[in-house]
């Protein structure tokens, strides 16, 4: 079981993921440069956070045409896991592996700091290590994280229980105050219809070691490693 | 030829940037402004190849890359010469 981290020019959370997977969890992990066309046999593909291609035009708009993305789409089509974190989530919506779009935060501010998330569905390869309704704390760091999808798409996501994480307060309560960016339905993370592609704005890779503020992100990568 | 492309957030999409500009204009005394939407303006210099349908290709460029048609609309103006 190998994790592969795609590195775009402008990725800046690639080493965070690498460090956590390698040192905190002891999993085999490698970097995959965006110009290459094969995934070197990696089982789980991570699209990390950052500002791929400078976020020029729109976040993720240029990265989705990087040569490696064809292989990532094929990997997902085969039902193998792909996770996009922050900028990686934006790339996944731009390429159409996940529905909707991530727009400028309602506050217009860059939103950063720890937030609470409620785990909404644990029957997925990304969340099987959590308890239903568990509240976890992970940080966010984004200017464009306001999840938007048209009403019929949102209804479908809810019906199919594809919202995996929702912004909440420390007690798990959903409220506008606990929503850091104005995301519709307080969505922080969601999964594809086939359950194998997940995108989330918060950064689980920054919570993989209690010495670095917490370890609530570990279960996500452990779930993935078990599923892969 | 030259193409000018205007990209705007769709009408039903909340545009916080437009709201902020709107309130700044109000602060400057321009009370007649009732709504602002902020988009992007892109110019392209084009040398069409024989047999190419420039408008169709520009439409394709907008749909594939320049605009996110889930949340944005676009208009294309072509200026010959």
Residues whose CB falls within 8 Å of the CB of residue A173, separated by 6 or more in sequence, listed in order: none
Flag whether pLDDT at B81 surpasses 80.
no
Domain that holds residue A148: 3-227
**Which residues of A have a CB under 8 Å from any CB of B?**
57-58, 61-62, 65, 94, 100-101, 103-108, 146, 148-150, 182
Among all chains, which residue has been given the structure tokens 């292989």?
A71
Q: Give A212's pLDDT tier (boundaries 50, 70, 90).
A: confident
- Region A171-200: mean pLDDT is 98
Distance between CA atoms of A103 and B42, rounded to whole angstroms? 20
Length of chain A: 228
pLDDT of residue A88: 98
- Which chain A residues are Cβ-neighbours of B7 within 8 angstroms? none
Residue A162 has pLDDT above 90, yes or no: yes
| Average pLDDT value for chain A | 97
| Rounded (10°) angle between helices A68-77 and A87-95 | 80
Enter the CATH code of domain B2-79. 3.30.1280.10
pLDDT of A126-136, one tens digit each?
Answer: 999 999 999 99
Q: Across residues A126-152, what is the average pLDDT?
A: 97
Minimal C-alpha gap between A131 and chain B (Å): 34
Q: What is the pLDDT averaged over residues A74-85?
A: 97
Residues A89-112: pLDDT tens digits?
999 999 999 999 999 999 989 999
Confidence of residue B72 (pLDDT cuts 50, 70, 90): very high
The whole-angstrom separation of Cα A204 and Cα A215 is: 8
Question: Nearest CA of chain B to the CA of A92: how many Å?
Answer: 13
* Cβ atoms of residues A3 and A21 within 8 Å: yes
Q: Which of A193, A220, A225 is CA-nearest to residue A205? A: A220
Confirm or reject contact between B24 and chain A (CB < 8 A): no
Q: Give yes or no: A203 in active site.
A: yes
Cβ distance B14 to A107 less than 8 Å, yes or no, reads: no
B71/A103 Cβ within 8 A? yes
For chain A, percent of residues with pLDDT exceeding 70: 100
Total domains in the fold of chain A: 1
Reply yes or no on whether the pLDDT at B3 is more than 90.
yes
Residue A30 binned pLDDT confidence (cut-offs 50, 70, 90): very high
Q: What is the CA radius of gyration of chain B?
A: 16
Residue B32: both structure tokens together: 């007649």
Q: Do A58 and B68 touch (CB under 8 A)?
A: yes
For chain A, percent of residues with pLDDT exceeding 90: 96
Report whether pLDDT(A46) > 90. Answer: yes
- How far A65 CA sits from the closest chain B CA (Å)? 9
Question: In the prediction, which pLDDT does A228 show?
Answer: 81
Cα A84 to Cα A68: distance, rounded to the nearest angstrom? 14
A86 catalytically annotated: yes
**For position B80, what pLDDT does the model report?**
87
B5-38 per-position pLDDT tens digit: 999 999 999 999 999 999 999 999 999 999 999 9
Inter-residue contact A46 to A30 (CB < 8 Å): no
Q: Give me the CATH number covering residue A109.
A: 3.40.50.880
Nearest CA among A31, A37, A88 for reference residue A64? A88
Domain ranges of chain B: 2-79
Q: Which of A86, A120, A142, A186 is catalytic?
A: A86
- Residues in chain A with CB shorter than 8 Å from the CB of B66 are 57
Q: Identify whether the C-beta of residue B78 lies closer than 8 Å to the C-beta of residue B55.
A: yes
Q: Smallest CA–CA separation between B68 and chain A, in Å?
A: 8
CB atoms < 10 A from the CB of B4, how many? Answer: 13
Contact B71 A182 (CB under 8 A): no
Token pair belonging to A72: 């990532």
Q: Do the Cβ atoms of B17 and A108 come within 8 Å?
A: yes
Subunit contact B16:A105, Cβ cutoff 8 A: yes
Q: Which residues pair with A187 in a beta bridge?
A: A166
pLDDT at residue A24 tops 90: yes
Hunting for tokens 């089509």 — which residue is that?
A77
| Residues A79, A217: Cα–Cα separation, whole Å | 23
Average pLDDT value for residue range A64-87:
97
Please state the pTM of the whole predicted model. Answer: 0.94
Cβ separation of B71 and A148 shorter than 8 Å?
yes
Helix (H, G, I), strand (E, B) or coil at B2: strand
**A127 phi and psi, to 5 degrees?**
-125, 5
Mean pLDDT of all residues in A61-89: 97
């Amino acid at each position: 079981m190998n994790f592969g981290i795609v590195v775009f020019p402008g990725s800046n959370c690639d080493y965070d993921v690498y460090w956590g997977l390698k040192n905190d969890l002891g999993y085999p992990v490698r970097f995959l440069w965006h110009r290459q066309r094969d995934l070197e046999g990696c089982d789980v593909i991570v699209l990390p956070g950052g500002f791929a291609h400078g976020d020029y035009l729109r976040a993720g708009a240029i990265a989705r045409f990087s040569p490696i993305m064809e292989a990532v789409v094929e990997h997902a089509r085969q039902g193998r896991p792909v996770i996009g974190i922050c900028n990686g989530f934006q790339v996944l919506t731009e390429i159409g592996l996940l529905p909707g779009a991530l727009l400028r935060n309602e506050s217009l501010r860059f939103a950063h700091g720890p937030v609470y998330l409620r785990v909404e569905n644990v029957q997925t390869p990304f969340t099987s290590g959590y308890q239903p309704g568990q509240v976890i704390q992970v940080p966010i760091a984004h200017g464009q994280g306001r999840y938007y999808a048209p009403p019929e798409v949102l209804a479908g996501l809810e019906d199919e229980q594809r919202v995996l994480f929702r912004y909440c307060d420390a007690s798990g309560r959903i409220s506008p105050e606990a929503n850091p960016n104005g995301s519709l339905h307080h969505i922080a993370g969601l999964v594809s219809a086939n359950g194998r592609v997940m995108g989330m704005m918060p950064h689980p890779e920054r919570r993989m070691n209690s010495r670095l503020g917490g370890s609530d992100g570990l279960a996500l990568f452990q779930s993935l490693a078990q599923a892969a | 030829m030259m193409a000018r492309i205007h990209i705007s957030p769709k009408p039903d999409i909340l545009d916080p940037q437009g709201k902020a500009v709107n309130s700044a204009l109000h602060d400057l005394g321009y009370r007649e402004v009732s709504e602002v939407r902020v988009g992007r303006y892109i110019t392209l210099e084009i040398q069409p190849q024989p047999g190419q349908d420039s408008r169709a290709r520009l439409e394709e460029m907008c749909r594939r890359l320049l605009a996110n048609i889930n949340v944005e609309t676009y208009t294309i103006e072509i200026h010959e010469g």
